[in-house]
């Protein structure tokens, strides 16, 4: 988020500093999004919003989103009314026409319920529910067609990082799930980099490790969609973001916000993340 200033921090000639970004941040407004996963009841949702909304009333520097379980969306929408907090789903089916798909919720339903966003391809869906890059693409296009903004998640497993495959994994996920979008569709997408080893483990990626991955993702976006689109796309970091580590992450030039699990469940903690500056 620190603009292009880091380009001036030069090391040896011809050596690109780790935090350097080729894409200067011009108009990227940060997005701080909470992913509640399978936590809270409707009553607990109402209680959260009563406490949370006043705590972020002055947060003009960022967009704020909460993605609760489907069952809590009405309570969340009601709780966020009159505030700048927006609401999202955690998944959507890839068929937008209603039909016989037991257990599924589609993007037009999310839209009708008052959602702005939907998380697509979270690593827990990839790991436990058979999500693939192909279904990520299908869900993403369905969301876009319904007027819902997708937050598309990518990220490597610990074993993949340890065996030096991180960039390859990010490329595969980007090429399969995001690259087939049209430029117009891509302009509506938010990407979230969530290294699986940092999710729910308390092991946050260092700002340098996260920045490195974000730079790779932005470069992929540049190769596919051009420099302007790459400079405009929001790339969030997710994985053990807390009030005490968010500022270091947000200081990186290619980190445009956070996708927060555990710390989004408590109003004070998530407000601490949102109000990072
Ligand atoms: P934690 O913040 O609990 O590590 O979860 C991150 C995440 O998966 C957000 O989508």
Is residue 2 in some structural domain?
no
Number of domains making up the chain: 1
12 pLDDT band (50/70/90 cuts)?
very low
21 pLDDT band (50/70/90 cuts)?
low
- pLDDT at residue 233 in the model: 98
Is residue 56 in some structural domain?
no
Is residue 75 in some structural domain?
yes
Binding pocket residue ranges, ligand 1, CB within 6 Å: 35, 122, 194, 199-200, 238-241, 259-263
3-class SS letters over 228-267: HHHHHCCEEEECCCCCCCHHHHHCCCCCCEEEECHHHCCH
The conformation of residue 5, written as its DSSP 8-state character, comes to G
Is residue 3 in some structural domain?
no
Domain, as residue range, for 152: 27-50+63-89+104-274
User: What distance in angstroms lies between residue 100's CA and the mean position of ligand 1's atoms?
Assistant: 32
Out of 64-68, 125-129, 203-207, 244-248, pick the least confident: 203-207
Query: Does pTM surpass 0.85?
Result: yes
Please name which of 250, 268, 251 lies closest in space to residue 31, comparing C-alpha atoms.
250
Q: Give the domain CATH number at 68.
A: 3.20.20.70
Residue with CA closest to ligand 1 atom 2: 261
Residue with CA closest to ligand 1 atom 1: 261
> What is the C-alpha separation between 33 and 87, in angstroms, rounded?
9
Is residue 37 in some structural domain?
yes
Is residue 117 in some structural domain?
yes
Mean pLDDT value across the chain: 92
Listed in sequence order, the residues at least 6 apart from 8 whose beta carbon sits closer than 8 Å to its beta carbon are: none
Tell the residue number behind the tokens 């689109």, with chain if given.
229
pLDDT in tens, 193-235: 999 999 999 888 999 999 999 999 999 999 999 999 999 999 9
Is residue 16 in some structural domain?
no
Is residue 221 in some structural domain?
yes
């Amino acid at each position: 988020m620190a603009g292009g200033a880091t380009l001036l921090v030069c090391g040896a000639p011809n050596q690109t500093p780790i935090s350097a970004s080729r894409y200067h941040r011009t108009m990227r407004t940060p997005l701080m999004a909470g992913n509640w996963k399978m936590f809270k009841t409707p009553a607990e949702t109402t209680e959260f919003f009563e406490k949370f909304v006043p705590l972020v009333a002055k947060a003009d520097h960022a967009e704020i989103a909460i993605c609760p379980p489907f069952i809590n969306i009405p309570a969340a929408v009601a709780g966020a009314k009159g505030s700048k907090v927006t609401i999202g789903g955690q998944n959507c089916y890839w068929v937008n026409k209603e039909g016989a798909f037991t257990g599924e919720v589609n993007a037009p339903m999310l839209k009708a319920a008052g959602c702005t966003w939907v998380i697509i391809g979270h690593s827990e869906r990839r790991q436990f529910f058979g999500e693939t890059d192909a279904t990520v693409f299908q869900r993403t296009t369905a969301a876009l067609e319904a007027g819902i903004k997708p937050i598309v998640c990518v990220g490597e497993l610990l074993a993949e990082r340890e065996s030096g495959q991180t960039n390859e994994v990010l490329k595969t996920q980007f090429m399969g799930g995001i690259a087939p979008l049209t430029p117009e569709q891509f302009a509506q997408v938010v990407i979230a980099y969530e290294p699986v080893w940092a999710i729910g483990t308390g092991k946050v990626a260092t700002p340098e490790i996260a920045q490195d991955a974000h730079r790779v993702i932005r470069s992929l976006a540049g190769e596919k969609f051009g420099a302007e689109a790459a400079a405009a796309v929001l790339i969030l970091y997710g994985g053990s973001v807390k009030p005490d580590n968010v500022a270091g992450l947000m200081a990186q030039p290619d980190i445009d916000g956070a996708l927060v699990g555990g710390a989004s469940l408590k109003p004070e903690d998530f407000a601490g993340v949102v109000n990072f500056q």
